[in-house]
Chain A
Amino acid sequence: MSAVNPLLILILVPLVGAAFILIGSNARTTALIAAALNLFFALSLWAVYNQGGNGYQFVSSTPVIPSMGIAFTLGADGLSVLMLLLAALVTAAAVAVARTPDRNANWFYASLLFISAGGIGAFASIDLFFFYMFHELALIPTFLLIGIWGSGDRQAAAWKATIYLALGSFVLLLGLIGLYLIQPDGMRTFDLRAIIGLADAGLLPDGNWVYLLLLVGFGILVSLFPFHTWAPQAYASAPAPAAMLHAGVLKKFGLYGLIRIAGTVFPNEVTNGVILVPIPFYHDVALSLSNLLLVLLVGNILYVGYVTISQRKLDWMLGYSSVMHMGYIFLGFAALNVLSVTGASLMLFAHGLSIAALFALSGELRERTGTLDFAELGGFAKPMPAFGLLFGFAAFAAIGLPGFVGFAGELLVFFGAFVGGDSLMGAVNGKEIFQLNNFQIATICAVWGVVISAIYMLRAYRRIFFGPLNDRWAGLPEISGPARVAIVTLIVVMLVTGFLPRLLIKLIESASIWS
């Protein structure tokens, strides 16, 4: 095939942009052009993508290590296209709101583009090896972005995040090697399509330890409780565009990977919803593993949720809230039925946009006030009404108010999870406590999480925008320029897809995660 794979273009545009910036072209202009170009390409990809088809499209493959079945294989199905749209959208927004720093501006923008390329590359890869490698492309740019241009205790945050992520990614690597090694000798490959084929054919032996490694590895990257402590600190210290890209795009990599790999290769035997693919692991271990996951994700929602309420600074609060929301997506993944996984995929998209908008706004606020401590803020609705309105929209989107796409996602996750699990799961001595199985209990806890997120978001909103206005904030400038355009765009997308979630659900339905 002589035509260039459109996915390759998506990956290369930010990389080439970064290279140009490092050579010396104007950093901000080049980055903006690259991001806008990529957004355009991503939208065209969506237009070209055949939603009636099943399986991967735009597939191209170049063998890299043939003896181990590693190839540079690109391809996109509905879920990938959704994530690519998210990545392109958030990248454009992040570059737009970025403030050119005084020193090393070229490294700043190049790092942003590298992170974007890493995320896009991961979402466009079918080969697990490259899927993994692309994600790592973002590690060092993040380290530099937080360490050089961060705020607060940025050095500690950068170290902690980098080492946590490095450890998590090597655990993940072991999981992927394990997934490779449990395949029958002679047929081993890193090509996800082939692995799913093997799983369908029942050729994968039980892989509980592989599943556990993948869960922990991806879990660290997604800040699954109790591996979440790096995330709030890193996001609080990171410059706004870096936090937007990392929380909005990169962190989705882990859940995307779980849905894509663990969801299809090791589907959960105990779900009584629509099971995706037959199961290669033992019933009792599967049961205990999915119970473990339920406990952890409830930890994400309730424990981290309460921690979020107690935060006194906006940046930390947003960092924790981004950790907390991962819990819902994990719930959707854990239940593994059509409803819940569709909901989880929608939430990947919705949360990426809402957290990006919130981090962008908090970055703008930091630029204006120099502090994000709730005690020092207040009454900002008077000098900056538009800012307040946008923040309100973003906060409601994060809570999952009807009308925003997050609501559709949460609803599907809750419905899906509530019918998840077999009827006696979690029964003690043959009797279910409260007449509910563990999935239902977890779902109830998760619904309570919505109340928690409403509490902290609304409290933050009240503390920042209402109340008496301190005199020193009287002349705060209104939000304007590219930042305003970017944030409005993010909110409009959330609203449109919130009223018409069918747009995205059609995409997800055409994904190759369904058997």
Chain B
Amino acid sequence: MVMISALALEICVVCVGIFLLMADSFYVHADKRSLAYGGIFGLLVVFAMTFFVGPVPADYTGFYTNDDLGLFFKRFALLGTILTLVLSIEYAPVVERWIPGSKPGAGLGEFFILPVFTCAGLMWMASSADFVMIFCSLELVTISFYIQVAYMRKNAASLEAGTKYLILGALSTGFLVYGITWIYGMTGQTSLRGISMVLGFVPHASQTALLFGVGLVLVALGFKVAAAPFQFWVPDVYQGAPTPVTAFLSVGSKAAGFVVLMRVLGPFLAVPEIEAKLVAALQILAGLTLIYGNLAAMPQTNLKRLLGYSSIAHAGYLLVGVASVGSPTAGRAVVFYLLGYFLMTFLAFLVLIPVAKATGGDDIAHFNGLGRRAPGLALAMLISMLSLAGLPFTVGFLGKFFIFEAAMREQHYLLVAIGVVTVACGFYYYLKVVRAMYWQPAPADAPPIVVSPLTRFAAGLLAALILIIGIFPRPFLQLLP
């Protein structure tokens, strides 16, 4: 069988992006949507390629790894980008409204192309094994997100979101670089493997400095994954950004953040003295994130904002998993949770966009009576919300089950207790959407909801996957690293 070099995947994605940019410049009059279809096709081809990946050349292994985890998240990023493009096609009319140009469709092209570059960044991130590499790929992701968040330039909310994201993103970048510097200063290494080899010999006196560096990196990654107390940018950015970008941000960016977190913490957790302190810090982060995300989500009335808070809450559950790294089942639990989170979040956004487009807003009240106006969409949203809440027979429940199992194995009883109480909170705010859809009557003048076949297909696929994996996870568990 022909094997493809692992590096070729990212290169191919970048080539797809450049090709689309060129196409956008040369075929000015073409329907911009064809760019998105082209992107989807290109990424699907790359996705197929991931199944024929050969080993990494020996001289790259210092900064680039292609283990199962990395490969899994590359597929994750590719599928996430494809779904984002599906969402973008659905959302294009809204973007067009907010970027009035001289010609129809002007300025729309990059909206479909930028996610492809973000995808390349995410894929690099999944494979990075060196702080410099991590930093570069992270910046590729973040900078392309700055543009996407602020894309609707005549929309004040989008601009506000972009500014907030830019400032806080830059701040977290600062933390990251500063932390890397301290770690480099103490170990003389930037590659994770080098660090893990040197770490055992770091004198006891320098451990505080080392911990300081790790702490700063933790802060920076805390921003990326939206962990409390570094979460305050999330609600505004999520609400203001174009909805497909919100979805991408909440899934892609978060997943990449967790992969990097697990990779970066790996060497440090191997040292018992550092491990105890790091796990304590992670536990505090997880507990705060759980409490903040869930409590703050409860009074929300805007669905996008609610999903923003819910993404903080889910970061909390994921952090519980990361804090339980001592347990042999924790890594798989985190990955499985991310997989479930991916499915249910994208499904929620896939329903949100057509409904918001038809009703003119993304408040929960705009979903009133959806159960009778669009039973299919309402059923999909029901599945998504129940899975987010963690109801059995959905993938969301299994994710929580694995996380709690790992945490109890590590005897993080306080975290588990917080987790259980916050799950109950979650039932409240996710069921608020269910209530709107099924209890409340629809307004009399409700316009019909139009859904494109592509969106319908994607939503059906995701809903089916949520249930299938939730009921019979065995084949999927075997796919996990």
Residues of A at the B interface (CB closer than 8 Å) are: 63-68, 103-104, 107, 132-134, 136-137, 139-140, 143-144, 147-148, 155, 159, 162-163, 166-167, 170-171, 173-174, 177-178, 180-181
**A171–B420 contact, CB under 8 A?**
yes
**A136–B474 contact, CB under 8 A?**
no
- Residues of chain B within 8 A of A66, CB atoms compared: 474
**In the bound complex, what is the Cα–Cα distance between A127 and B202 (angstroms)?**
50
Does B460 sit within 8 A of A, measured CB to CB?
no
Does B146 sit within 8 A of A, measured CB to CB?
no
**In the bound complex, what is the Cα–Cα distance between A382 and B40 (angstroms)?**
74
The interface bits of chain B over 410-429 (1 if a CB of A lies within 8 angstroms of the residue's CB, else 0) are 00000010001101100110
CB distance from B68 to the nearest CB of A (A): 16
CB distance from A217 to the nearest CB of B (A): 10
Does B147 sit within 8 A of A, measured CB to CB?
no
**B404–A65 contact, CB under 8 A?**
no
Please classify the interface of chain B as helix (H, G, I), strand (E, B), loop, or mixed, using the class held by over half of its residues: helix
**A137–B392 contact, CB under 8 A?**
yes
**In the bound complex, what is the Cα–Cα distance between A177 and B382 (angstroms)?**
27
**A163–B427 contact, CB under 8 A?**
yes
- Known contacts A132-B392, A137-B392, A162-B427; A155/B371 CB under 8 A: no
- Residues of chain B within 8 A of A104, CB atoms compared: 371-372, 438
**A107–B438 contact, CB under 8 A?**
yes
**B431–A162 contact, CB under 8 A?**
yes
**A147–B472 contact, CB under 8 A?**
no
Contact among B371, B392, B416, B424 for A163, CB-based, below 8 A: B424
- Residues of chain A within 8 A of B420, CB atoms compared: 167, 170-171, 174
- Residues of chain B within 8 A of A155, CB atoms compared: 435, 439
Q: Which 4 A-B pairs have the closest CB atoms?
A: A133-B392, A167-B424, A136-B392, A166-B427
- Known contacts A144-B438, A147-B435, A148-B438; A167/B421 CB under 8 A: yes
Contact among B397, B428, B439 for A133, CB-based, below 8 A: B397
**In the bound complex, what is the Cα–Cα distance between A177 and B413 (angstroms)?**
12
Does B401 sit within 8 A of A, measured CB to CB?
yes
- Residues of chain A within 8 A of B458, CB atoms compared: none
- Residues of chain B within 8 A of A177, CB atoms compared: 401, 404-405, 408
**B371–A107 contact, CB under 8 A?**
yes
- Residues of chain A within 8 A of B372, CB atoms compared: 103-104
Chain B's closest residue to A71 (CB) is B474
**In the bound complex, what is the Cα–Cα distance between A136 and B423 (angstroms)?**
14
Count contacts between A and B, CB distance < 8 Å.
Answer: 80
Does B33 sit within 8 A of A, measured CB to CB?
no
**A174–B408 contact, CB under 8 A?**
yes
- Residues of chain B within 8 A of A159, CB atoms compared: 428, 431
Chain B's closest residue to A168 (CB) is B424
**In the bound complex, what is the Cα–Cα distance between A107 and B424 (angstroms)?**
25
Does B434 sit within 8 A of A, measured CB to CB?
yes
CB distance from B394 to the nearest CB of A (A): 10
8 more A-B residue pairs beyond the given contacts A140-B386, A155-B435, A162-B427, with a C-beta to C-beta distance below 8 A: A64-B473, A64-B474, A104-B372, A166-B423, A170-B424, A174-B404, A174-B416, A177-B401
- Residues of chain B within 8 A of A163, CB atoms compared: 424, 427-428
**A67–B477 contact, CB under 8 A?**
yes
Chain A's closest residue to B427 (CB) is A166
Contact among A63, A64, A140, A178 for B391, CB-based, below 8 A: A140
Interface size on B, residues (CB 8 A): 32
- Residues of chain B within 8 A of A63, CB atoms compared: 474
Does B263 sit within 8 A of A, measured CB to CB?
no
**B408–A148 contact, CB under 8 A?**
no
| Max chain A Cβ within 10 angstroms of own Cβ: one of B386, B390, B392, B473 | B392
10 interchain pairs, CB-CB under 8 A: A64-B474, A65-B474, A107-B371, A137-B392, A143-B434, A163-B424, A170-B424, A171-B420, A177-B408, A181-B405
Does B409 sit within 8 A of A, measured CB to CB?
yes
Chain B's closest residue to A148 (CB) is B439
CB distance from B477 to the nearest CB of A (A): 6
Interface residues of B in 442-476 (CB under 8 A from A): 472-474
Contact among A103, A137, A166, A181 for B424, CB-based, below 8 A: A166
Does B91 sit within 8 A of A, measured CB to CB?
no
**In the bound complex, what is the Cα–Cα distance between A63 and B473 (angstroms)?**
10
- Residues of chain A within 8 A of B392, CB atoms compared: 132-134, 136-137
Chain B's closest residue to A180 (CB) is B405
Does B393 sit within 8 A of A, measured CB to CB?
yes
- Residues of chain B within 8 A of A144, CB atoms compared: 434, 438-439
- Residues of chain B within 8 A of A67, CB atoms compared: 477
Contact among A139, A166, A171, A178 for B408, CB-based, below 8 A: A178
Chain B's closest residue to A143 (CB) is B431
- Residues of chain B within 8 A of A173, CB atoms compared: 401, 404
**In the bound complex, what is the Cα–Cα distance between A148 and B392 (angstroms)?**
22
**In the bound complex, what is the Cα–Cα distance between A133 and B471 (angstroms)?**
10
- Residues of chain B within 8 A of A137, CB atoms compared: 392-393
CB distance from A311 to the nearest CB of B (A): 27
Chain A's closest residue to B419 (CB) is A170
Chain A's closest residue to B425 (CB) is A163
Interface residues of B in 377-393 (CB under 8 A from A): 382, 386, 389-393
**B438–A65 contact, CB under 8 A?**
no
The interface bits of chain B over 314-338 (1 if a CB of A lies within 8 angstroms of the residue's CB, else 0) are 0000000000000001000000000
**In the bound complex, what is the Cα–Cα distance between A167 and B427 (angstroms)?**
9
**B421–A64 contact, CB under 8 A?**
no
**In the bound complex, what is the Cα–Cα distance between A257 and B371 (angstroms)?**
35
**B391–A65 contact, CB under 8 A?**
no
Chain A's closest residue to B404 (CB) is A177
| Max chain B Cβ within 10 angstroms of own Cβ: one of A64, A134, A137 | A64
CB distance from A396 to the nearest CB of B (A): 38
**B391–A181 contact, CB under 8 A?**
no
**In the bound complex, what is the Cα–Cα distance between A419 and B473 (angstroms)?**
48
**In the bound complex, what is the Cα–Cα distance between A277 and B427 (angstroms)?**
38
**In the bound complex, what is the Cα–Cα distance between A133 and B390 (angstroms)?**
11
- Residues of chain A within 8 A of B427, CB atoms compared: 162-163, 166
- Residues of chain B within 8 A of A132, CB atoms compared: 392
Chain A's closest residue to B406 (CB) is A177
- Residues of chain B within 8 A of A134, CB atoms compared: 392
- Known contacts A104-B372, A174-B420; A133/B393 CB under 8 A: yes
- Residues of chain B within 8 A of A64, CB atoms compared: 472-474
**B439–A65 contact, CB under 8 A?**
no
- Residues of chain A within 8 A of B408, CB atoms compared: 174, 177-178, 181
**In the bound complex, what is the Cα–Cα distance between A234 and B69 (angstroms)?**
47
Chain A's closest residue to B389 (CB) is A166
Chain B's closest residue to A165 (CB) is B427
| Max chain A Cβ within 10 angstroms of own Cβ: one of B382, B427, B434 | B427
**A140–B424 contact, CB under 8 A?**
no
Chain B's closest residue to A133 (CB) is B392
- Residues of chain A within 8 A of B409, CB atoms compared: 181
**A136–B438 contact, CB under 8 A?**
no
The interface bits of chain B over 149-181 (1 if a CB of A lies within 8 angstroms of the residue's CB, else 0) are 000000000000000000000000000000000
The interface bits of chain B over 206-234 (1 if a CB of A lies within 8 angstroms of the residue's CB, else 0) are 00000000000000000000000000000
**In the bound complex, what is the Cα–Cα distance between A134 and B397 (angstroms)?**
13
Interface residues of B in 348-372 (CB under 8 A from A): 371-372
- Residues of chain B within 8 A of A178, CB atoms compared: 408
CB distance from A105 to the nearest CB of B (A): 12
CB distance from B416 to the nearest CB of A (A): 6
**A147–B438 contact, CB under 8 A?**
yes
**A139–B439 contact, CB under 8 A?**
no
- Residues of chain A within 8 A of B472, CB atoms compared: 64
**In the bound complex, what is the Cα–Cα distance between A166 and B405 (angstroms)?**
18
- Residues of chain A within 8 A of B421, CB atoms compared: 167
**In the bound complex, what is the Cα–Cα distance between A66 and B472 (angstroms)?**
11
- Residues of chain B within 8 A of A107, CB atoms compared: 371, 438
**In the bound complex, what is the Cα–Cα distance between A413 and B416 (angstroms)?**
37
CB distance from B409 to the nearest CB of A (A): 6
- Residues of chain B within 8 A of A167, CB atoms compared: 420-421, 423-424
CB distance from A69 to the nearest CB of B (A): 12
- Residues of chain B within 8 A of A103, CB atoms compared: 372
**In the bound complex, what is the Cα–Cα distance between A260 and B221 (angstroms)?**
46
- Residues of chain B within 8 A of A170, CB atoms compared: 390, 420, 423-424
